[in-house]
Structure 1
Amino acid sequence: MPSTLNELTDPFCLRAGESADLLGGHPWRRFVVLGDSVAEGMCEPVTGYSELQWADRIAAELRAAAPALAYLNLGRRGLRAHEVRASQLDDALRFAPDLALVVCGGNDAFRTSFVPAEVDVEVAAMITPLRQAGADVLTVGMFDVSHSPAVPPAVRPGLGERMRLLSTHTRALAARLGCLHVHLTDHPAVADPTLYSADGRHGSARSDAIAAAETVRRLGAHLAGH
């Protein structure tokens, strides 16, 4: 990437005033996040990009349009899907959200024993009660971290296959359960090494900025009836 690229010039990031146009007058007042390290926020700093984590960015954009927005992030690193459900769902429901972000399964997909149907069961068990409680639910097909330069070449094909399988299953589950889905797996920048951290498992501040932009755009499309 050119050394002059930053959040203001990055073609994939939010433009000035874009979020206000998309989210102005939005109805959400209680936003909860459930998930693993992607939800908690572990992006690696990149010069020229905000260090605000992805979920925190979404909350900030929502709050800019609705300053009284209440926000609870339950995300914790290292959790598999069944652990997210067991440790976070009850607290999320007690929060009485009208918007929820559920992002997990990545730690399951890092294992060669990954079974997508088992993750589907756990994610559905979180989405269903949140939807029944009246919340709009966001799900995400995340960037394919197998493109990270830190991932050993021998591991990349299998990891990439599993990450894409997770994304495909999550997208189908979201459609079936009436969720708002953000699909990042086929994003034009997915193979750009600047999107990934040095640990080979997480994203960079640039990936969080792009993910936030795409999430805001998905919310805006929903508000516009698309």
Structure 2
Amino acid sequence: MTPIHANELADPDVLGGNEEFALLRGAPWRRLAVLGDSAAAGVGDATDGYMRITWAERVARGLRGHHPQLVYRNFGRRGLVTAEVAAEQLQPALAFAPDLAIVVAGGNDVLRQLFSPEQVAAELDAIVAPLRAQGADVALFTLFDITCAVALPEPWGRRLGERLGALSALTAAVARRRGALLIDCAGHPRAADPSLYSGDMIHLNMRGQAVCAGAAMRTLSRALHPPVEAFA
């Protein structure tokens, strides 16, 4: 009998349980918070042959392999811009007192008629800084660029690509400034793969969620197991 999740099991871009366990060896985190918009919440279509489980649930599962009592809260909600994430989710997240917080925001900002990278950077920083000050490790996401995978009508396609590039740059800058990790989906080898997307061509489907989870866990693993530089 063919396994119900056969496509996932055969997908080289999706981590298996043993890979997750090895990558997250030594992980200290026991309280995981996820903040953001629909990308944080894990909105997306089912995909044949893949488990219906969001990227954040996969990360939580991987961490529970080492700490079964890990507590996970996802504050993500569909449709929020970065300022709304800060206003609605920051205080509840601080009260939850995570030792690892993952923030995914900015995707709805780039879809608005007016988009200010400087304003979004300030709003994202206002989320990250208090979490870091409270002692949490923080990871930020850059987003997969749909314009690399699908031809969109012009000039909208070009403008969206430029805005997503600006969002990636400001997210990376905030991460550097605050000592946060950067999960770089914008630079992922599968960034141009249209099969990662739901029918709305905005949200990741369950294959995309699985690939995204792999990127997140590999980033966490690099922080846990930094490469040892060879001496000349």
Same fold, TM exceeding 0.5?
Answer: yes
1:139 Cα deviation from its structure 2 partner: 0.2
* TM-score, normalised with respect to structure 1: 0.93
| Structure of higher CA gyration radius | 2
What corresponds to 1:18 in structure 2? 19
Partner Cα distance (1:16, 1:75) in 2: 25
Are the aligned partners of 2:42 and 2:56 in contact in 1 as well (CA < 8 Å)?
yes
Q: Which runs of 5+ in 2 are unaligned?
A: 228-232
What corresponds to 2:73 in structure 1? 72
Are the aligned partners of 2:6 and 2:50 in contact in 1 as well (CA < 8 Å)?
no
1:55 Cα deviation from its structure 2 partner: 1.2
1:153 Cα deviation from its structure 2 partner: 2.1
Are the aligned partners of 1:148 and 1:200 in contact in 2 as well (CA < 8 Å)?
no
Deviates more, 1:80-89 or 1:194-203: 194-203
Residues 1:60 and 1:126: Cα distance change in structure 2 (over 3 Å): same
**Count of residue correspondences:** 222
Superposition map of 1:75-114 within 5 A: 75-114=76-115
User: Residue 185 in 1 paired to residue 186 in 2?
Assistant: yes
1:171 Cα deviation from its structure 2 partner: 1.0
1:18 Cα deviation from its structure 2 partner: 1.0
User: Residue 153 in 1 paired to residue 145 in 2?
Assistant: no
* TM-score, normalised with respect to structure 2: 0.91
Superposition map of 1:200-215 within 5 A: 200-215=201-216
What corresponds to 2:30 in structure 1? 29
Where does structure 1 differ by over 3 angstroms across 4 or more consecutive aligned residues? Answer: none
What corresponds to 2:129 in structure 1? 128
1:173 Cα deviation from its structure 2 partner: 1.2
Matched residue of 1:100: which SS? strand
User: Residue 119 in 1 paired to residue 110 in 2?
Assistant: no
Partner Cα distance (1:193, 1:200) in 2: 8
Are the aligned partners of 2:26 and 2:224 in contact in 1 as well (CA < 8 Å)?
no
What corresponds to 1:6 in structure 2? 7
Identity percentage of aligned residues:
45
What is the alpha-carbon root mean square deviation over aligned residues?
Answer: 1.7
1:6 Cα deviation from its structure 2 partner: 2.1
Q: Which runs of 5+ in 1 are unaligned?
A: none
1:141 Cα deviation from its structure 2 partner: 0.5
Partner Cα distance (1:22, 1:178) in 2: 21
Partner Cα distance (1:145, 1:54) in 2: 18
1:147 Cα deviation from its structure 2 partner: 4.1
